[in-house]
Amino acid sequence: MTRILIADDHDVVRSGLHTILSAQPGWEVVAEAEDGRQAVQLATDTQPTVAILDYRLPSLNGVDATREIRAIAPQTEVLIFTMHESEPLLRELLEAGARGYLLKSDARKFLIAAVESLALHKPFFTGKISETLLSAYLSHGHVSDGALTTRERSVVQLIAEGHSNKEVAQMLGINPKTVESHRATAMRKVDVTSTASLVRYAIRNGLIEP
Amino acid sequence: MTRILIADDHDVVRSGLHTILSAQPGWEVVAEAEDGRQAVQLATDTQPTVAILDYRLPSLNGVDATREIRAIAPQTEVLIFTMHESEPLLRELLEAGARGYLLKSDARKFLIAAVESLALHKPFFTGKISETLLSAYLSHGHVSDGALTTRERSVVQLIAEGHSNKEVAQMLGINPKTVESHRATAMRKVDVTSTASLVRYAIRNGLIEP
DNA sequence: CCGCAATTGGGGAAAACCCTGAGTTTCGCC
DNA sequence: GGCGAAACTCAGGGTTTTCCCCAATTGCGG
């Protein structure tokens, strides 16, 4: 019996997944969560075979939820279900322990195959970026650092949220000049020349909410 | 018999809507479209009572699809189904002829009620902004202009795309100082104090794509 | 004709941006 | 344990861009 947990904040999506998955012989949806915390809680309680998590979840996002579920229920495989393909996101997810990545637009074609694969503890990924990144991960045990370092990401995040260099410096407890430095290298790395473009980058890659 | 058309690019969402709606006695889903053009085509063919359109649709967005459907199948009521609540968007939709606006997060509570209402040719809207805006529309036949003027919107748009004041000035054929001015008033109007926040506003309200 | 808002600008202070250099953890690796 | 690479930390000193007050000009509706 393949036991499945569904976590998505939109009940319409949950209904859709539920009907599609329940139609498969031997598959059972054992829990539905509408936010991250609930997903972790239900995963603990039900110990499902596969947990399907939307990346955008209230209270606890997909990455953090993945990390917690992997810690609490190690035999549960996590399938991330998301709108857009983002490389930094995928990287984080791999580190967090997700073993599947399914684009919402690929759902019809690959949903069954993805869950099937995860149930056998084999990874499953869709999308252009996925193949290269996944093979790199499987051969090295980790993926090379993304465009931005941790510090750079924090800075970009706070900047994109509307804070000035000075404010960011205070929040992080460092010198404004250092913030400038991180900001500058980050901007060079992602190849933009204005704050506006940097904000768009941050939003596209899920560093902040629009 | 209430005949329903569903248009959404994610098949999971279509499945969800389908199962929920079909469960209602007297309701029938007569068509499913995965993009805007197909929705218009199917609306022409099937002449449904209610058309449920996702706002984000490939090939033809929700607003344009609404306009065409209202022109071709005037007795079909259009219900827009969307993630976020955006005032400018709602404004456009009202002008285009939509009679319903349903947030995806409100789906479980209000989906049935919304379709029911539209089938009786009564408007149905969820969300905070909706009430005030709708009543204004019903009493005046149109809605007053949004927060930003035309010029201000253009400027914000170009700024958010990553252009500097100087570049924007060249594109619009005006003095950089004038661009600054529009930018400043726009920022006061939408109540932000940094470029970053302005870009987020632009993205939230659909002035530009992320 | 008068008001009011949109559009157009100026001047000056503040912040962001660019380049260069350099000290100090931090981490993987032999 | 030592060694190198990369990350994190700041500084100086410059240019460019935002940001915030203000004022003049259109233009449209009461």
Chain C bases having any atom below 7 Å from a protein CB:
5-11, 15-21
Q: What share of chain A is helix, strand, coil (3-state, %, to 5)?
A: 55, 15, 30
* Rounded CA–C1' distance between B165 and D9, in angstroms: 33
More confident residue, B27 or B94: B27
- Do B125 and B165 share a structural domain? no
Of B20, B108, B159, the CB nearest to A196: B159
How many distinct structural domains can be found in chain B?
2
Answer yes or no: do A98 and A9 share one domain.
Answer: yes
Token readout for B5 is 């058309």
- Residue pair B206/B63 in contact (Cβ under 8 Å)? The answer is no
> What is the average pLDDT value for chain A, to the nearest integer?
87
User: Which range, A89-103, B24-38, B55-69, B134-148, is most confident?
Assistant: B24-38
Q: Which of B12, B160, B203 sits opposite A13 (nearest CB)?
A: B12
Q: Is residue A100 part of a domain?
A: yes
Q: Are residues B52 and B136 in the same domain?
A: yes
Interface of A with B in 88-117 (CB under 8 A): 104-105, 107-108, 111
Q: A152-170 pLDDT, tens per residue?
A: 999 999 999 999 999 999 9
User: What was the pLDDT predicted at A144?
Assistant: 47
Asked if the Cβ–Cβ distance from A195 to B199 is below 8 Å, we say yes
CATH number at residue B129: 3.40.50.2300
**Distances from the Cα of B207 to the Cαs of A188, B86, B89, B201, in angstroms?**
26, 11, 10, 8
Q: What is the pLDDT of residue A149?
A: 87
Compute φ and ψ for B174, nearest 5 degrees: -130, 175
Residue whose C-alpha is closest to residue B53's, from B5, B20, B96, B118 = B5
Residues A79 and A166 in one domain: no
Q: Are A71 and A157 in the same domain?
A: no
Q: Is residue B59's beta carbon less than 7 angstroms from any atom in nucleic acid strand C?
A: no
Work out the burial of residue B54: count CB atoms within 10 Å of its CB; fewer than 13 is exposed, 13-18 middle, 19 or more buried. Answer: buried
pLDDT band at A127 (very low <50, low <70, confident <90, very high): confident
Which residues of chain B make contact with A10, given a CB cutoff of 8 A?
A: 13, 104-105, 107
B62 or A138, which is more confident: B62
Domain hosting A173: range is: 150-204
Q: What is the DSSP-derived secondary structure letter of residue B121? A: T
- d(C-alpha B78, C-alpha B148), whole Å: 27
Q: Are residues A97 and A172 in the same domain?
A: no
